[in-house]
Amino acid sequence: MEPGHLPVLAEEVVTMLAPAPGSLQIDATLGGGGHTERILGATDPDGRLLGLDADGAAIARVDRLLRPRFGDRLVLRQSNFRALGRVAPEAGFGAVDGCLFDLGLSSFQLGDAERGFGIRTGGPLDMRFDATRGVPAAELVASLDAAELTALFRRYGEEPHAPRIARAIVAERAVSPIRTAEELAGLVERVAPRTPPGRRRIHPATRIFQALRIAVNEELDALEDGLTAALDLLRPGGRLVVLSYHSLEDRIVKRFFQAERRGCVCPPEVPVCVCGRSPRLRLVTRRSVTPSPTEIAANPRARSARLRAAERLAA
């Protein structure tokens, strides 16, 4: 792949996904294509992969890099993974052997000075994966009142200083619009309390940027839809592998896996199951898998990654 792109937990993803020659696989979050490249390599000579990404630039980049090697074995669609249940069958992937979700931003998105994803990269405060849909983050920053901003930062960023930051944004925009990532990051850095000595320092705007990005792209709702669609597409024995990067995502994945492992949704006080639901997943990872210190040293962006995997049962 291109310099600067390091897929997270690459070997672990392939091990958990267990792609075999001739199998059908889905990479629901194409990104930089690092995982896609390894999965296709493991399915030589005749395995096929459907790669999805809401970002058209990611589709074009991976097509340019991997098409010469893999040809028609690589099928690409620009789409959010929440539409997986419709897009996959239309592309010839109505029943598959594996599906991967890598929920993190790619290095290319973080480094794109025109999108505003990166705190230090800057650029217009947009944050949309698909620039043709939805509203940019700048519009939320400009239109929501202090209470609404506080709720957004708490819900999607788990930001402990949400009220203070929200009030500062409202006061600042009354004087001058907040249009760029640099302006927002600088404002948060000025008003947020400093990190206590001895604690790992992250930029004080990190949770604010996370919250805005999740809201703009409706990421948590999309994740629940995507996981449900992926499970419906998996053949018995097929694997579902998810890489998440913050607690909100990981919580959704963990609860989804646990619910599909149990099957029954009857209340605890009901002595005998009456819902008739059977378990649909077997956990491959009892606990989440995290990167090694060596990988984190080589790729600091991997430090918050958590991998969970499960296998489709015959139910």
The residue among 198 and 134 whose pLDDT is bigger is 134
- Higher-confidence residue of 264 and 65: namely 65
Domains and CATH numbers, the chain: 10-106+219-312 (3.40.50.150), 109-217 (1.10.150.170)
> If pLDDT is split at 50, 70 and 90, which confidence band does 267 have?
confident
pLDDT interval class at 269 (50, 70, 90): confident
Q: Give me the pLDDT at residue 156, please.
A: 95
pLDDT band at 295 (very low <50, low <70, confident <90, very high): very high
Of 79-83, 112-116, 266-270, 278-282, minimum mean pLDDT range: 112-116
What's the mean pLDDT in 3-20?
89
Which is it for strands 48-53 and 74-78: parallel, antiparallel or unpaired? Answer: parallel
